[in-house]
Chains A and B, each alone.
Chain A
Amino acid sequence: MEIIYFAILFFTFIAGESKNLRLSSYSLIPHSLLIAISVFTLAYIGNINSLYLIAVVDVMVRAFLMPILLIILLKNRLEREVKPSITHPLSIALSIVVLSVGYNFVDTIKISIFPNVLSCFSAGFTLFIYGLFLLLSKRDTAKMIISFFIIENGIHLLIISMIPHMPKIIELALTLNFVIALFFLIYLTIRLNEILILEEIKKLRESNNIYKLEE
């Protein structure tokens, strides 16, 4: 299980720190697939039948639907992210600290504070904290959406670890909520990009007109 969690954290790091937004979005596919695999494994080990359904939903929604929507978002814009509020090397260093030290720290204290939680607790909590860090440090709207996605996945793992026998309907309704929120975020960003492009075209035309007049 540990290997799966490390792999999840690795792909989260790529999604968070890659300057190329397309690569960030693509790395969310293995990130989410691994989350689904961890849920499958937990269902199998703990003999919790309700988690199988959740894992299937995770594959469909988190591993395919959401990254596809993100790639659609990147269709008509630059693939390079807008400069973040902190420098890139510092951001990478902080990410490594949050992901590695954070994970190990949570894993150590978990036993004393929450002895009955499932093993995905530490990964879930680390994803949650890392997502918040990304949200605060990034300026690019696409990166902000990716941060939200990571936070949501963290919460998802936390719920599974703390309440594994939660009624399926609640879990499905929460996923639906997440899909709607992300859909709206992507819709707003696409419309915003369209307006920005139109404004740029207008500016360019105006400057061309001025240039012609001067000539």
Chain B
Amino acid sequence: MYSEVFLSSLSFIVPILMAFIIFIFRSSLIINTVLSIFGIFIAFLSTFFSLDKINHSDLKFLQPEQWVYIDGFSILMQLMVEFVSLFVIIYSLKELPKLYSHRKNKFYLYFCSIMLSTGFMNLAFSLNNLFFMYIALELSSIISVYLITFNLNRESLKAGFKYLLIVNVGILFSLLGIVLLCYASGSEISISNIGQHVGNISKNIAFTCAVLFIIGFFTKAGLFPFHIWLPETYAESPSAITVFLAGAVTKIGFYGLARTVTVFAFNLEEIKILVIILSSIGILLGAILAFNQKDIKKLIAYCSISEMGFIASALALNNYAGIYGGVFHLLNHTLMKGALFFSVGILIYICGSRLIDEIKIRHKISTITVSFFIGALAVGGMPPFSSFLSSVTIILALAEEKFLWSAVVLAFSGFISALALIRTAIFVFWNKTETRDIENNDSLSFIMKLCSLLFAILLLIIGIYPELFNFLIDNAAKGIINMTH
């Protein structure tokens, strides 16, 4: 029993331990990278151990001790965060020395923060008690502020301040929701019993709790109308950290949503409608605002707000197809943003600017072009990429639940987002004047290209052969549905 808890806990113990080792020894960039990769590797092994245990259990979740609760959804989230962290660390190895050389003596703190944040996220995905989950979740977002402000210029500091203040105040609403739920049910609330308690409390209290959770976790995830921190934060962070934020940190908001709001949506029709209305407005608004952006990172950030609306609306549906589509799109969103932000990071690395007008690359098919285009097409939900499958699943699930208007908004907005991205891609990669030859740029690292291409290839592979990750997504969807009862 204890060995089982210990092995499952390594997914968060080792990254936190590695963070302390990096902090104490303050070694060189290479050693910090190696230590971080080692920490993530052990976390991967621990998550696979938990996955194996879940597959062999009849209940399909692990609860060796009262404070632990690991189901298919926790596993998927842990794997996603570990995967993103791993490539962010690898990418940073090349990005940091060139673009952030003025912070050379603080590189160890950068890696330390990534490992701590990863550790706390994995801890949040393993905890049963909602209060402890909240604490781990908040700690991970506070620590990521150091990464956002790593450049230490006026704009990044402002973005970091805005992020910290808005997210912290927003997430306090979800704390209030937990407190109210505890008060109304008269006992401690945990993930394993939230479904029973929500069914037993009065409708008005349940509605209030759900609204508080929506405010809290929508702010954390950067969803409309609490998204104001997101574009600036994504734009001002180092590109690797933007991937970390989009692929991991904002995902904690969705974890919170799935663990709380989905349960309420299963019991209250009003909550389902409210989430779908908010998400649909966000989907449309994000796509429209993306069109006006001059900053390439802000453009992708607005597309991201739109994309995340897909996930939120799907997670509010009380049918298997909706939850499955939402979880699938969660995975795809991470891959899409990885492909896009990593390739944009390379463009900024070459051109030294985020402004679309100043980024012009020679007309030649390169790895960056391929990964950017795959990412852009995937945002539009085009076949054969995996986002096509998840988008179609969500659209069908919405239509089945009589939200046809929302399905139309979703399809239309996906098209607009893709259009905004492809238009930019054509301007950046096929502009004939004032171009830079990227093929002759010796400093362009193979590692950076590999990172962006890998995310793009995964979008293609999962799109062609979805069975590859089906068991993970299926387990995650079933895990969410199981806790609603």
Contacts and interface: CB of A to CB of B under 8 A. Distances in A.
Interface of A: 114, 116-117, 128, 132, 135, 141, 144, 148, 151-152, 155, 158-159, 162-163, 166, 170, 173-174, 177, 180-181, 184-185, 188-189, 191-192, 195-196, 199
B164 A188 contact: yes
Interface SS of A by simple majority: helix
Interface string B144-162: 0110010011100110110
Interface in B112-152: 129, 131-132, 135, 138-139, 142, 145-146, 149, 152
Contact of A148 (B135, B160, B169, B182): B169
A69 to B, nearest CB: 15
B464 interface: no
A177 B176 CA distance: 15
Contacts of B146: 184
A144 B169 CA distance: 11
Contacts of A188: 145, 149, 157, 160-161, 164
B131 A151 contact: no
Contacts of A199: 154
Q: From B145, B146, B152, B172, name the one whose CB has the most chain A CB atoms within 10 angstroms.
A: B172
A122 B176 CA distance: 14
Interface residues of B, number: 28
A151 B139 contact: no
Given A177-B135, A184-B145, A155 B176 contact: yes
A166 B152 CA distance: 40
A162 B177 CA distance: 12
Given A141-B161, A174-B135, A151 B179 contact: no
Nearest to A191: B157
Given A152-B172, A173-B135, A195-B157, A180 B142 contact: yes
A138 B81 CA distance: 36
A192 B158 contact: yes
A151 B168 CA distance: 10
A147 to B, nearest CB: 8
A184 B140 CA distance: 13
Contact of B168 (A128, A181, A196): A181
Nearest to A195: B154
14 contacts: A114-B183, A128-B176, A141-B161, A166-B182, A170-B131, A174-B131, A174-B175, A177-B139, A181-B138, A181-B164, A185-B161, A191-B149, A195-B153, A199-B154
Contact of A163 (B149, B172, B182): B182
